[in-house]
Structure 1
Amino acid sequence: MREVFLSHQSMVNRQSRIIATRLVLNLDGGAAMADAVGTLNALASVWPPGDKPLFISCGKANCTAEVLDWSPPRNAVIEIPAASLVGDHAPALLSALQVWQPSVCLQFDSAAVQALSAAVQFRFIGLDAQQFSLPQLKMLGARTRALGIGIAFNVESSKDFHACLDAGLSAACGWFFTKGINQSAKTLTPGQANIVRVLNLVRKNAEIREIEAILRQDVAISYKLLRYINSAGFGLSCEIQSFRHAVSILGYDKLNRWLSLLLATASKDPMATALMHTALWRARLLELLAHGLVDRSEYDNLFITGAFSLLDILLGISMEQVLETMRLPDAISDALLGNGGRYGPFLDLALASERADGAGMAAQAAMLGLRADAVNRAQLQALAFAESMEF
C-alpha cells in the first residue's frame, strides 16, 4: 500500500468555536483510492469519539465508490464533488451511497444542478470560497439552504470568513484565524505578565510559597490552572484541589506545560477559542511525534513548543517580545522563531499538515524517520486531546 498523508483544516462557526474538522486525503506519488481506504481503516482505533463531524475529502483525486469500502464512523462526513455524481463512475457511487447511507457533504461545482436531483440526501452543502464570489456565495447559500447546511471551504482571511457568514453560511473552513487580525500590542497585560512571572518561577524550581504569593494576587490564574489540570485530557485519577497539591502530584516539569497554556487564555483576540484549540492540537501532536525520537525528558518541551506556536497572535505581540519575557530552552526558542534546531522539524511537520501539502508532509516526515501511519494516528490522537480540554 502506498503511503497517504492526511492533512486537516478546522471548521469555525460565528461564535469562533471549532465545530468540525476536515481531513484531506493527499493521494500523491501514485496512491489510489484503495490506498486511501487502507489509510482510513488503519485509524479505527484512534478515531475521535463524540458528535463533532470529521469531514473526509479526497482532495484532488476523483471520488469513486471505493471510498465507501471503508466503514465510516458515525461522526464521519464524506465529501462528494457534484461532478462525481454525474460522471462515468456515478452509478456505482450512487449505488454505494444508497446502500451505506453515510453522512454526505456535496461539494458544489458546475455539475451541482444535476447532482442535486440524484437520490442522495445531503447533510451539508460545501461551497469553495476561492471559486465563487461573495454575491454568488450568498445566492447559492440561499438556494441550497433547504437541501443542506451551507459551509464555506478554503477561506483564507478573517474578512472572507465574516463575509461568508454574512452571506448566510453556517461555518467556514480554513486557517484564516491563525493569521491574526489585531494590531500588535506594545506590552503584556497585567494578567499575562503575572502568568509569565509564575512560569519563570516554576521553570527555576522556586519555593512553592513564592509562587503561591503571586497566585493569591490573581485568583483567575489559580482557577484556570486547576480547571486545566482537572480536565479529562489530563487523565488524573484524583481531583487536584490546590497549587501545592498539584506540585506534589505532578512535579514542576509537568506543571510547567499547563501553566504555559494559561498565557493563551488571557488573549483578547476574537478568535481566541479557535486559536486555543489549535495550540492544544499542535502541542499534543508535537509531543506524540517525538515519542522514541528524543529523550523522554524533552516531551514536555515539545508540548510547550506547540502550545506557544500561536502565542504571538493570541497575545498581540511579536514572538520575539514573547520570548524576551521568558526563560525558555534554546531548542524551543529556535523552533518558534523559525530557526530550526532540534524541535523545528516537528513544528514544520505540524504546519505542513495544515496546508494540505502531502508532498511537504512526506518530506518533513522523512527527515524525522516517520511513516504516514504514525503521523496520521498522531494527528487524530492530538485532535481528541484538544477536544477533551476545557477552555
Structure 2
Amino acid sequence: MPDVYISRQPLVNRQSKIIATRLTLHFDDGASTKDAAKTLDALTEFWPLGEKLVFISCGNAPCDAELLDWQIPENATIEVDSASFVEPEAAILIDALKAANASLCLVFDTQAKAALSSGVSFRFIAFDAQRFSPAQLKSFAAQTQPYGIGVAINVRDSQGFQDCLDAGVNAAASWFFKHPTKAPAKALSPGQAQIVRVLNLVRKNADIKEIEAALKQDVALSYKLLRYINSAGFGLSCEVQSFRHAVTILGYNKLNKWLSLLLATASKDPMAPALMHTALTRARLMEVLAQGLVDRQEYDNLFITGAFSMLDALLGVDMDKVLESMSLPEPICDALLGNGGVYGPFLDLAKSSEGEDGKELAEQVGMLGLSADQFNRAQMQALAFADTMEL
C-alpha cells in the first residue's frame, strides 16, 4: 500500500487554548484516498479520544467518497472542499457524506453555494486565511453563520490570528504561537531559576530532604509536580501523595522527567497552555519513536528534549541562556541548540510533524528507518498523551 503521512496543526480558540487538532494527510507517489482510509483505520487503537475534536484534511488532494470508507471516530471531523460539489462525481460524494453521518467541515471558496445547497449538513465552515482579506473573511463568516461554526485555516502569524478572531471566526488552525513577538529576556526570572535549582538537585541525586526543602520554598511547585504525576497520562495505579512518595515509586531518573515539565509551567505567556500542549506532544512523540532505536535508559532523555524544545518560547529567554544554568546531558543540549547529536534527528522529525511539507516529513521518517505506519501511530499516541495531561 502506498504511504500516507500525517502532520498536525492545533486549532486555537479565543482563550488561547488548543481545542482541536487538524491532521493533514500527505500522499506519497501513487497513494489515493482509499489508501488514506486504510491508514486512518489502522490508527483506531491509538486514536486520541476525549473532548478535543480531530479535523481530517486531505491537504492538496481532493476529498472523495473513498475517504469515508473507515470507522470514523465520534470526535473526528472530515474537511470537504467546496469544489468537490461541482465535480462530475459530486452526486456520489454527496450520497456518501449523507450516509456516513459524520461531522463535516466545509472549506469555503467561491463555489460554496453548491455545497451549502446540496442537502449535506456541515458542523463547521473553514476559511483559508491566505485567500481572503480580513474584510472578506468578516463578510463570509457572517453570511455562513447559519450553516456552521466558523473556523480559520492556514493562519501564518499572530496578527493573522487576531484578524481572524476579529472577523468573527471562533478558532484558527495555526502555529503562530511558536514564534514570540517580544524580545527575549537576558536571564531567567527568580521563579524559573528556583525550578532550575530543584532540577539540578534531582539530577545530582541530592538527599530527599534537601530537594523537599527547595520545593517548599514554592508551594505551587509541589502542587504542580504532584498534579502531573497523578495525571492520566502517567498511568499510575495509586495516587502519589508527597515528593518522598514520588521518589519511592518512581526513583530519581523518572522523577527528573516529570519535574522537567515544571520549568515550562513557569511561563506567564498567555499562550502558555498551547505551548505546553505542543511541548508535551513533542516529548511523548520522541519517546515513542525512539523505542527500539536507542537504549532504553535514553527514552527519558528524549522525552525531556522534546519537553524543553519550547522553553525559549515559554520562558521568553534564549535557549542558550536557559541551558547554561542547567546540568543537562550533552546530547540534550546539542539537540536543543541545533547541533545535531544522537537526539537531533528525533527532534527534527517532531518539528517536521508540525509542518506542511509532506516530502520533508517522509524524508525525516525514512532517515530514522521508520515506516509511515510507525510514525503515524506514534503521533496519535503523543496527541492522546498530551490531551490527558492537566495543563
TM-score, normalisation: structure 2? 0.99
Q: Which residue of 2 aligns with 1:254?
A: 254
Instruction: Structure 1: state its 5+ residue gaps.
Output: none
Offset, 1:189: 1.2
Rounded Cα–Cα distance in structure 2 between residues aligned with 1:231 and 1:182: 32
Rounded Cα–Cα distance in structure 2 between residues aligned with 1:181 and 1:223: 31
Q: Which residue of 2 aligns with 1:47?
A: 47
Offset, 1:49: 1.2
Q: Which residue of 2 aligns with 1:343?
A: 343
Q: Which residue of 2 aligns with 1:321?
A: 321
Offset, 1:55: 0.5
Deviations 1:186-244 (A, max 9, x none): 22111111100000010111111111111111111111111111111111111111111
Matched, 1:369 2:369: yes
Provide the secondary structure at the position in 2 that maps to 1:79: strand
| Superposed counterparts of 1:1-391, under 5 Å | 1-391=1-391
Q: RMSD across aligned C-alpha pairs, in angstroms?
A: 0.8
- Counterpart AA for 1:198: V
Whether the 8 Å contact between 2:128 and 2:154 is mirrored in structure 1 is yes
Provide the secondary structure at the position in 2 that maps to 1:234: coil
Rounded Cα–Cα distance in structure 2 between residues aligned with 1:106 and 1:8: 18
Rounded Cα–Cα distance in structure 1 between residues aligned with 2:51 and 2:229: 24
Rounded Cα–Cα distance in structure 2 between residues aligned with 1:300 and 1:127: 40
- Counterpart AA for 1:206: A
- Counterpart AA for 2:29: G
Offset, 1:181: 2.5
Instruction: Structure 2: state its 5+ residue gaps.
Output: none
Rounded Cα–Cα distance in structure 1 between residues aligned with 2:237 and 2:51: 25
Please say which of residues 373-382 and 111-120 is displaced more in the overlay: 111-120
Flag as ranges the 4+ runs of structure 1 deviating above 2 A. Answer: none
TM-score, normalisation: structure 1? 0.99
Deviations 1:131-151 (A, max 9, x none): 111111111111111110000
Offset, 1:51: 2.9
Whether the 8 Å contact between 1:37 and 1:66 is mirrored in structure 2 is yes
Deviations 1:221-275 (A, max 9, x none): 1111111111111111111111111111100100111111101111011100100
Whether the 8 Å contact between 2:2 and 2:28 is mirrored in structure 1 is no
Deviations 1:16-35 (A, max 9, x none): 11000011110132211111
Provide the secondary structure at the position in 1 that maps to 2:225: helix
For these two proteins, the number of residue pairs brought into alignment is 391
- Counterpart AA for 1:359: K
Rounded Cα–Cα distance in structure 2 between residues aligned with 1:305 and 1:231: 20
Rounded Cα–Cα distance in structure 1 between residues aligned with 2:218 and 2:106: 49
Whether the 8 Å contact between 1:182 and 1:269 is mirrored in structure 2 is no
Equivalent pairs: percent with the same residue?
Answer: 65
Whether the 8 Å contact between 1:287 and 1:302 is mirrored in structure 2 is yes
Offset, 1:115: 1.5
Rounded Cα–Cα distance in structure 2 between residues aligned with 1:89 and 1:136: 30
Rounded Cα–Cα distance in structure 2 between residues aligned with 1:282 and 1:91: 41
Deviations 1:81-108 (A, max 9, x none): 0000121121110010111111100001
- Counterpart AA for 1:41: D
Provide the secondary structure at the position in 1 that maps to 2:146: coil
Rounded Cα–Cα distance in structure 1 between residues aligned with 2:114 and 2:362: 37
Rounded Cα–Cα distance in structure 1 between residues aligned with 2:30 and 2:322: 44
